[in-house]
Amino acid sequence: MILRSTRASNRHAANMYHPDQYFGRLYCISLDRRPDRWRCVESRFRRWGLSVERLAAVDGWQTARNRTARAAEPVNSLSAGELGCLLSHRKTIEEAQRGGFERILVLEDDVYFHRRFLERFQEIATVSDDWNLLYLGCSQYDRSRLEAVNEHFYRARKTLGTFAYGIHRRWFQKFLDATRSLSAPADVVLCRLQEETGGKCLVWQPPLVIADVRDSDIRPARDLKRHAARLQWPLEDYEMPVPEFQDSPNLIASGFHALAACRFRLPSKSHGLAQCRHPQVRTSGGLVSPAACESCGIRQSANEGLGNGALALVKPIRAIPSPKAEATDSPPSSPAAVEPEANRGRFAEQIRPRVILAIDRFGWAFHSDAEGLLKHLSDEFSFTIVPHRDLARRPELVEGDLLVAFWWQSLLGIDTSRVGAVVCGLFDTWSWDIHGVRQLQAAFDKATALLVSNSYILDDLRNHPAGLRPPASFVCEEGVDCEIFRPQPFPHEFCVGWAGTTANARSYRGAADGKGLGMIQQAARDAGVRLVTADREDVPGVYETRRQIAHERMPEEFYRHISAHCIGSYSEGAPLTAAEALACGRPVISTNVGIVSQVVQHGVNGLIAPRDAASLAAAMQEMKRLGPENLSASARRSALLMDWSRQAPKWAHCFRAALELGSRRTHARIAPRPEFASGEWQVSRHDSCETAAR
């Protein structure tokens, strides 16, 4: 799709050089699942009269699910976001090569333009047109030994960033050849190629275009003010939607405090989170009058059903010119005045809290949980999915409003000083027996809230003799995507299946077979039933092992080849495979573990058996007698109750509460919470989510 502006012809008449004339084609890379970002950047293109072709970006998270083997690669391999970015830029260069353009301009959908963009674009006349790479904006971390070309340009050296660059056709094939192995991010590849060009890579200084790093689909969001100061971006010179570079300690309402990112926020249904960054706002007794801030349109609404101290948005946000911008005499053709309606779409994007989901590995269970949250809660939260090992080794990635650590022990190695709140996940009762309750308590001490996957885990914590002191706790069951996991045809021969990771089957209270696979193998032999497994390594003694199956391919490549699914674990959070099997219409044969007793009705959609080989063998024979096809419809109906559309609101409530608790704690500088004595717990319900509080 090419965006054409009716104002382009006027621009051409008023300026000798215009981007539409200078470049053969202008491209903007934008994800299909982020139409909000395209709407916002499209309005900026129209204001400057730019004719831009939108190219659908490659979704790196979807690509990563199909490349689950990458999880075992070294930490310097591409992340899912970096992989998608690289493939998107390759796609753009291939498109330009097919179009036969001499030079193109590549933009990403998070760019903002200089207030005198068209006027400053005339500076291109001061350099020769024989460049190979032209950065309109970049990330120049290393500024040593930079060579100036003139007052407007310098030669690129260790220059990073791909959000705004021009590239000549001489480099099209060179870039494609250098990125064929997919071994380095796109900007790193361009940085390496800079050494081969004899100084024909130029950088605009100060940049004509900058990137909004507060909401990224490639990496965790970063603090814009801090990032701009490091890169020497004068933020007041750019058409940012809100002047977030201005410091102001004033808060809209008492009891709420800005998180690390210092961004605008919409009030949720039960927890208001917002901050005014305009220094003209003054409070009285900690509260604000209804017309407190005319600029951002946020006001106190204690009497509007949102609760005392909550906030309401009373008008769309609009950009406020800085003093420097007001003193600038813009030419008539330059749109220095920003229309308020142009920023309405961007406002909805800014106010989403930035949530880092720390998973174990791509393609594993926690990754599927993260994908479910991404699918159902992206309108309220801006998610970034990162393996926790990367967060431990690269502390600069840990920056945002909320960190959700699915694996509790990963918190011990992550620096959480630059996030506003932390949610610690606890999905079993055996891992802390192995690693020790001291480590678990250390994780609790770093957390703002605790998320557990079933109420039995809370019972174990409550009754533990060590007197553990967890933070505020929330029961949020894991869900299943019933659109991916759909009913499958049954095989001709009755067989049972098991799915999991034997590499993680560690000892549980002295038992070596934590997942119970050996017991299931013995039961299948005793019952004379064929056993099929889905594991990441070959399982000795099993008739058939299906390895490295991507999560979204499990229905077709695993569940359709089994008649019933077996679970024999000592301890599980859900278990997730039970929900997946039921969604595919497969009855479950399981021990009483996790939430099995809540979702499996004996003889209706599955069988619950004691945890021993003889009992499981009898259950397999009973299932064969009942006929798994007769239980399929009941299995599917029970899975629909566990769909992510029903479970995600519980997680959202936990995230909102954690953000509120973190903001209050930061604002009041609360001392460490008092120790919990054993038995001082009570469980209350809120929005169908159990909350364990003192």
For the ranges 92-106, 226-240, 522-536, the maximum mean pLDDT occurs at 92-106
Tell me, yes or no, if the two domains 352-479+647-693 and 495-642 fold the same way: yes
Residue 70 has pLDDT above 90, yes or no: no
Does residue 667 contact residue 273 with C-beta atoms inside 8 Å?
no
pLDDT in the model for residue 665: 61
CA pair distance 572, 365, nearest whole angstrom: 12
pLDDT in the model for residue 291: 34
Residue 96 has pLDDT above 60, yes or no: yes
- Averaged pLDDT for residues 550-573: 85
- Averaged pLDDT for residues 90-96: 95
- Please report, for the chain, the start and end positions of each structural domain, with discontinuous segments joined by +: 2-237, 352-479+647-693, 495-642
Does residue 499 contact residue 365 with C-beta atoms inside 8 Å?
no
CA pair distance 299, 310, nearest whole angstrom: 9
Residue with tokens 């089994």: 562
pLDDT in the model for residue 668: 40
pLDDT tens track for 160-174? 999 999 999 999 999
- Averaged pLDDT for residues 676-689: 34
Strand order in the sheet with 682-686: 382-387, 354-359, 400-405, 419-426, 449-452, 472-475, 689-693, 682-686
CA pair distance 48, 70, nearest whole angstrom: 42
- Averaged pLDDT for residues 293-315: 32
pLDDT in the model for residue 536: 55
pLDDT in the model for residue 88: 94
Question: What are the C-alpha distances in Å from 75 to residues 85, 190, 348, 387?
Answer: 18, 21, 34, 10
pLDDT in the model for residue 502: 65
pLDDT in the model for residue 65: 52
Q: 667, 663, 658: which is closest to 423 by C-alpha?
A: 658
Strand order in the sheet with 588-590: 544-547, 530-535, 495-499, 564-567, 588-590, 606-608
pLDDT in the model for residue 458: 85
- In percent, how much of the chain has pLDDT > 90? 42
Q: 242, 223, 212: which is closest to 343 by C-alpha?
A: 242
pLDDT tens track for 611-628? 899 999 999 999 999 999
Residues 352-479+647-693, CATH architecture: 3-Layer(aba) Sandwich (3.40)
Residue 477 has pLDDT above 50, yes or no: yes
CA angle, 681 then 687 then 693, to 5°: 15
pLDDT in the model for residue 287: 32
CATH of domain 2-237: 3.90.550
Does residue 96 contact residue 233 with C-beta atoms inside 8 Å?
no
- Averaged pLDDT for residues 581-610: 90
pLDDT in the model for residue 304: 30
**CB under 8 Å to 198, separation ≥6 — which residues?**
none
CA pair distance 284, 667, nearest whole angstrom: 17
pLDDT in the model for residue 657: 93
CA pair distance 640, 86, nearest whole angstrom: 38
pLDDT band (50, 70, 90) for residue 490: very high
Q: 534, 543, 542, 586: which is closest to 565 by C-alpha?
A: 586
pLDDT tens track for 348-406? 444 689 899 999 888 778 888 999 999 899 888 989 889 999 899 888 889 889 999 99
- Secondary structure of 342-368 in HEC code, one letter for each residue: HHHHHHHHHCCCEEEEEECCCCCHHHH
Tokens read off for 613: 């080989």
pLDDT in the model for residue 61: 67
Residue 634 has pLDDT above 80, yes or no: yes
pLDDT tens track for 22-69? 999 999 999 988 888 898 899 899 989 999 999 999 987 666 555 443
Residue 691 has pLDDT above 80, yes or no: no
Q: In 500-620, at which residue ranges do the beta strands (DSSP E only) sit?
A: 530-535, 544-547, 564-567, 588-590, 606-608
Query: What's domain 495-642's superfamily in CATH?
Result: Glycogen Phosphorylase B; (3.40.50.2000)
CA pair distance 573, 352, nearest whole angstrom: 29
The reply to whether omega before 674 is within 30° of 0 (cis) is no
pLDDT in the model for residue 201: 93
- In percent, how much of the chain has pLDDT > 70? 69
Q: How many CA atoms lie within 13 A of 276 on its CB side?
A: 26
CA pair distance 108, 40, nearest whole angstrom: 12
